[in-house]
C-alpha cells in the first residue's frame, strides 16, 4: 500500500525526514516573535498556536480540553494531557495535512500562509522544559568496550549489568538544544603516573551517540510503573549527545560514578518524534543471558529500528565516526523508565532519559570517540593529515537518525554542537 500523501511541499520526499507519518513536535520562533509549539511537515514548521486560535484543533474526543497549550514556549502543557489527547491531536493534524483529508487548512490561503513557515526561517528552541535528566548505560557493546579498557577483556561488565538498566542522575540545567555551542569543561585531572591531581581543562573531551526518551505522564511518589504503564507514559524520543570529559571522569568516578565529567552539557535535537510515529519500527530485544526479574519483563518488542549516525567536522574536514542502530540496546526505553520508578521514585512530565551510548559490534559503529579511537591510541583519520583521538576546540559533532518506511523516512532532524575553548575566568 502506498504511503499517505500530503499537500504540503516536501512532505512526500522519500529521503526527507518529515513526512505525514512523522509529525514531530518542537518549539519555534521568528525574529520578534515569542516561542510557540509546532510540528515539522516537509520543508515547513506548522504553527500549532495558529491552528488552535483558528479553532482547527478543537478535539472531538476531548471537547472540554482547555485551549492555549500550544502558545506555550515548551511542550510540557500538551504532554501532560496524556496519550489519548496526543493521539487525537495526531489524527486531527493528519486529517488537515493529508492530500485527501479535511480541506479546512489548505483551502484557507491566509491561514495556511501564516501557519506554514519555512524551516529555514525559524529558530528552534529547547522543545520541552527538562524537569530531570537521567542517563543510562544500556548499550552492551559500549559497556563491553569501556569495561575492556578499564578492567580488561576477561571482566568487562560489572556483575549487575545484565540484570538491570544501570543509570545515574544528571543535570537538567545544562540540557541544551541542537546548535548550542559547548564550552570545554575544567575539572580535577590526574594523569597516569602523577602523584596528585591538578585543576585544568579537559583534554579528552568526547561525545556519546544516544537517544533520549521524553516522559509525558507523571507518576506518584511511592508507586512503581509496570513496563506497560511506562510505555504509555512515554511521549516521544529525541536525538541526544551526552558530552563527556573522559579524563575528569577517570579520576572522579570512583566510588560513586561520573559527576563533573558529565554535567557540563547534554545536547538534544529540536524535534521530538512521537511514540506513535515509531510504532511501526519496533524491534525485538536481544536474547537474554540471564532471566530478567518479572518487573522488567516486556511482552512486545520494545526497541526500535532507527539508524543513527555521528559525524565530526574538524579543521575543514568531515568524516563519519559511527553508523549504528538503536535496536543494539540491551534494555528498552520502557524498561528503563519502569526501573527508574521501581523504588517509588516519582517521574514528572518533562523528564528526560538518555539511552546510553549506542554502539554496534564493529568498530565503525561505535558511538563515542573513546571507542572509535580506543582511548586515543588509534586516532581517527579525517583526511588531509587531520587526525583526532578526542575532540579539539572548534570541532563540531552532528548526530542524525531515521527510521525507513515504505516510501518515507521518519527523521529526527540534527543534534549538533561545536566545542569552544575552556574559559579562563
Instruction: Find, among 171, 137, 175, the residue nearest to 157 by Cα.
Output: 137
Helix, strand, coil percent values for the chain (each to nearest 5):
25, 30, 45
Report the pLDDT value the prediction gives residue 67, as an integer from 0 to 100.
58
Does some domain include residue 6? no
- Residues, the chain: 425
Do 99 and 176 fall within a single domain?
A: no
Do 178 and 195 fall within a single domain?
A: yes
C-alpha distance from residue 232 to each of 89, 179, 334 (Å) = 16, 31, 9
The DSSP-derived string for 44-83 is: EEEEHHHHHHTTTT--STTTTSPS-GGGSSSSHHHHTT-H
pLDDT digits (tens, 9 = 90+) for 299-318: 899 999 999 999 999 999 99
Instruction: Find, among 37, 56, 15, the residue nearest to 117 by Cα.
Output: 37
Report the pLDDT value the prediction gives residue 60, as an integer from 0 to 100.
45
DSSP 337: H
Q: Which of 74, 129, 142, 339 is catalytic?
A: 142
Report the pLDDT value the prediction gives residue 1, as an integer from 0 to 100.
59
DSSP 338: H
The DSSP-derived string for 202-236 is: -SSEE-BEEEEEEE-S---TT-PPPHHHHHHHEEE
Report the pLDDT value the prediction gives residue 62, as an integer from 0 to 100.
47
Domain stop point among 85, 101, 125 = 125
Task: Please report, in tens digits, the pLDDT of each residue of the chain (425 residues total).
Answer: 577 899 999 999 999 999 999 999 999 999 999 999 999 999 999 999 999 999 999 754 444 444 589 999 999 999 999 999 999 999 999 999 999 999 999 999 999 999 999 999 999 999 999 999 999 999 999 999 999 998 899 989 999 999 999 999 999 999 999 999 999 999 999 999 999 999 999 999 999 999 999 999 999 999 999 999 999 999 999 999 999 999 999 999 989 889 999 999 999 999 999 999 999 999 999 999 999 999 999 989 999 999 999 999 999 999 999 999 999 999 999 999 999 999 999 999 999 999 999 999 999 999 999 999 999 999 999 999 999 999 999 999 999 999 999 999 999 999 999 999 999 77
Do 257 and 373 fall within a single domain?
A: yes
Q: How far is CA 315 from the centre of its chain?
A: 27
β-pairing verdict for 175-177 and 167-169 = unpaired
In contact, 105 and 57? CB cutoff 8 Å: no
Distance CA 1, CA 23 (A): 20
Do 81 and 58 fall within a single domain?
A: yes
Does some domain include residue 425? no
Do 152 and 62 fall within a single domain?
A: no
Distance CA 78, CA 71 (A): 10
In contact, 314 and 382? CB cutoff 8 Å: yes
Do 300 and 364 fall within a single domain?
A: yes
Report the pLDDT value the prediction gives residue 61, as an integer from 0 to 100.
46
pLDDT digits (tens, 9 = 90+) for 233-286: 999 999 999 999 999 999 999 898 899 999 999 999 999 999 999 999 999 999
Do 139 and 67 fall within a single domain?
A: no
Angle, vertex CA 412, rays to CA 167 and CA 121, nearest 5: 130
Report the pLDDT value the prediction gives residue 56, as an integer from 0 to 100.
94
Question: In the chain, how many domains are there?
Answer: 2
Do 98 and 232 fall within a single domain?
A: no
Instruction: Find, among 20, 37, 259, 220, the residue nearest to 126 by Cα.
Output: 37
Do 246 and 294 fall within a single domain?
A: yes
Does some domain include residue 173? yes
Do 380 and 293 fall within a single domain?
A: yes
Do 249 and 268 fall within a single domain?
A: yes
Structural domain harbouring 172: 133-420
Report the pLDDT value the prediction gives residue 63, as an integer from 0 to 100.
46
DSSP 279: G
In contact, 369 and 391? CB cutoff 8 Å: yes
Tell me the CATH number at 74. Answer: 2.30.30.230
Does some domain include residue 70? yes
74 annotated active-site: no
Report the pLDDT value the prediction gives residue 59, as an integer from 0 to 100.
55
Do 193 and 312 fall within a single domain?
A: yes
Amino acid at each position: 500500500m502506498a504511503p499517505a500523501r500530503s499537500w504540503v511541499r516536501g512532505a512526500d520526499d522519500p529521503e526527507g525526514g518529515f513526512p505525514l507519518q512523522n509529525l514531530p513536535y518542537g518549539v519555534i520562533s521568528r525574529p520578534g516573535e515569542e516561542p510557540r509549539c509546532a510540528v515539522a511537515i516537509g520543508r515547513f514548521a506548522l504553527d500549532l498556536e495558529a491552528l488552535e486560535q483558528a479553532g482547527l484543533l478543537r478535539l472531538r474526543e476531548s471537547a472540554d480540553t482547555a485551549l492555549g497549550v500550544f502558545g506555550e514556549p515548551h511542550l510540557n502543557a500538551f504532554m501532560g494531557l496524556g496519550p489519548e489527547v496526543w493521539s487525537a491531536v495526531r489524527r486531527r493534524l493528519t486529517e488537515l495535512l493529508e492530500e485527501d483529508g479535511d480541506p479546512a487548512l489548505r483551502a484557507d490561503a491566509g491561514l495556511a500562509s501564516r501557519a506554514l513557515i519555512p524551516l529555514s526561517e525559524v529558530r528552534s528552541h529547547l522543545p520541552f522544559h527538562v524537569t530531570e535528566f537521567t542517563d543510562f548505560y544500556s548499550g552492551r557493546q559500549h559497556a563491553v568496550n569501556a569495561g575492556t579498557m578499564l578492567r580488561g577483556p576477561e571482566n568487562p561488565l560489572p556483575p549487575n549489568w545484565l540484570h538491570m538498566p544501570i543509570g545515574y542522575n544528571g543535570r537538567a540545567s545544562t540540557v541544551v538544544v541542537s546548535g548550542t555551542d559547548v564550552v570545554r569543561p575544567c575539572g580535577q585531572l590526574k594523569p597516569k603516573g602523577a602523584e596528585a591531581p591538578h585543576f585544568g581543562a579537559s583534554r579528552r573531551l568526547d561525545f556519546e551517540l544516544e537517544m533520549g526518551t521524553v516522559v509525558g505522564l507523571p507518576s506518584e511518589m511511592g508507586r512503581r510503573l509496570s513496563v506497560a504503564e511506562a510505555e504509555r507514559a512515554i511521549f516521544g524520543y529525541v536525538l541526544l549527545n551526552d558530552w563527556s570529559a573522559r579524563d575528569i571522569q577517570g579520576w572522579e568516578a570512583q566510588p560513586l560514578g561520573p559527576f563533573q565529567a558529565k554535567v557540563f552539557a547534554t545536547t538534544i535535537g529540536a524535534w521530538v518524534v512521537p511514540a506513535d510515529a515509531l510504532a511501526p519500527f519496533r524491534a525485538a530485544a536481544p536474547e537474554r543471558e540471564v532471566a530478567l526479574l518479572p518487573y522488567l519483563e516486556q511482552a512486545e518488542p520494545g526497541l526500535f529500528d532507527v539508524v543513527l549516525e555521528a559525524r565530526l567536522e574538524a579543521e575543514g574536514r568531515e568524516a563519519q565516526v559511527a553508523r549504528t542502530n538503536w535496536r543494539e540496546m540491551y534494555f528498552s526505553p520502557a524498561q528503563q523508565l519502569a526501573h527508574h520508578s521501581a523504588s517509588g521514585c516519582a517521574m514528572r512530565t518533562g523528564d528526560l532519559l538518555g539511552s546510553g551510548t549506542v554502539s554496534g559490534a564493529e568498530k565503525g559503529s561505535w558511538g563515542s570517540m573513546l571507542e572509535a579511537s580506543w582511548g586515543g591510541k588509534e586516532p581517527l583519520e579525517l583526511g588531509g593529515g587531520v587526525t583526532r583521538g578526542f575532540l579539539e576546540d572548534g570541532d563540531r559533532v552532528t548526530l542524525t537518525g531515521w527510521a525507513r518506511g515504505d516510501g518515507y523516512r521518519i527523521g529526527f532532524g540534527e543534534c549538533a554542537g561545536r566545542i569552544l575553548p575552556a574559559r579562563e575566568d
